[in-house]
Amino acid sequence: MVTAVIVAAGTGSRMGTSLLPKQFLPLGGIPILGHTLRKFDQSPEIDQIVLVIREVDRAQHEHIIQSCEIAKVFAIAEGGKDRQESVFQGLQHTHPHTEIVLIHDAVRMFITAELIADVIRDAREYGASIVAVPAKDTIKQVQLTRVHNARHASADEDALFVVNTFERSVLWQVQTPQAFRFDLICSFHKQAKELGVKATDDAMLAEHFGQAVKIVEGSYRNIKITTPDDLIIAEAFSQHEENR
């Protein structure tokens, strides 16, 4: 059994729509979350979906599930105070017979059936697999430093300075879905909870506990719609797909 855990418990603060979480914003007349759920619902590789939400938004999520005719939602879990805790809650609501679990951002609506199949295949073989793309830009490590402001003799200020430049050829930008053997990722999350380990994504937890993570090359279109600029790009991608 393969289960997709879709994390939709965010508030959308970076989108600047404080009254409407970003997953509810419409694209082509359908909420972003509706597009994302359809991709997993229509995938022959996915057996069930667990949706992780803020309890205050439950009615809106249930309306999207019904209006978009999503048939594979197995459970709706209440999220936690951060993404890591929300994923943990989603895993607790996943069917115990699950073999492979995919963890996916609710606002990555351009995921493809091919990528879903690829990460599932590699998770079965290697235990952990994530979608990622090669970094296009040079990445620099910076440090905040207190400096004297020459323009104002009595004032100091904090400024960012470069301390290191990374080799771009070995850098990849991580996306979702991230797929794991269910027993492995449950174990990693439980250990992290007990030991107070924090990570920015689930692959980082796997790395922390010694699990090799296989890369599946993704698509630059598989964007996370987080800011108003992302929404403009998403609208362009959607229009291009409709025209094609």
The enclosing H or E element of 2 equals strand 2-8
Whether 16 has a pLDDT exceeding 60, the answer reads no
**Does a structural domain hold residue 151?**
no
Q: Which residue has the tokens 């980082």?
A: 204
**In percent, how much of the chain has pLDDT > 90?**
85
Domain that holds residue 223: 2-134+170-243
Whether pLDDT at 20 is above 80: no
pLDDT of residue 153: 55
Q: Is residue 160 part of a domain?
A: no
Q: Which of 4, 9, 10 is nearest to 38 (CA)?
A: 4
> Which run of H or E residues covers position 129?
strand 128-134
Tell me which residue has tokens 């009595």. 154
Q: Is residue 144 part of a domain?
A: no
Residue 243 has pLDDT above 90, yes or no: no
Decide if 56 is inside a domain.
Answer: yes
**pTM of the predicted model as reported, rounded to 2 decimal places:** 0.91
Q: What is the pLDDT of residues 116-172, one digit of tens each?
A: 999 999 999 999 999 999 999 999 999 998 887 666 555 677 889 999 999 999 999
Q: What is the CATH number of the domain that holds 231?
A: 3.90.550.10
Tell whether 162 is covered by a domain.
no
What Rg value do the Cα atoms of the chain yield, rounded? 20
**Does 164 map to a domain?**
no
Tens of pLDDT along 218-240? 999 999 999 999 999 999 999 88
Count of domains in the chain? 1
Q: Does residue 163 form part of some domain?
A: no
Mode of pairing for the β-strands spanning 48-53 and 2-8: parallel
Contacts 24+ apart (CB under 8 A), 113-117: 113/39, 113/42, 113/43, 113/44, 113/45, 115/177, 115/216, 115/218, 115/219, 115/222, 116/39, 116/40, 116/43, 116/45, 116/46, 116/177, 117/43, 117/45
- pLDDT exceeds 90 at position 10: no
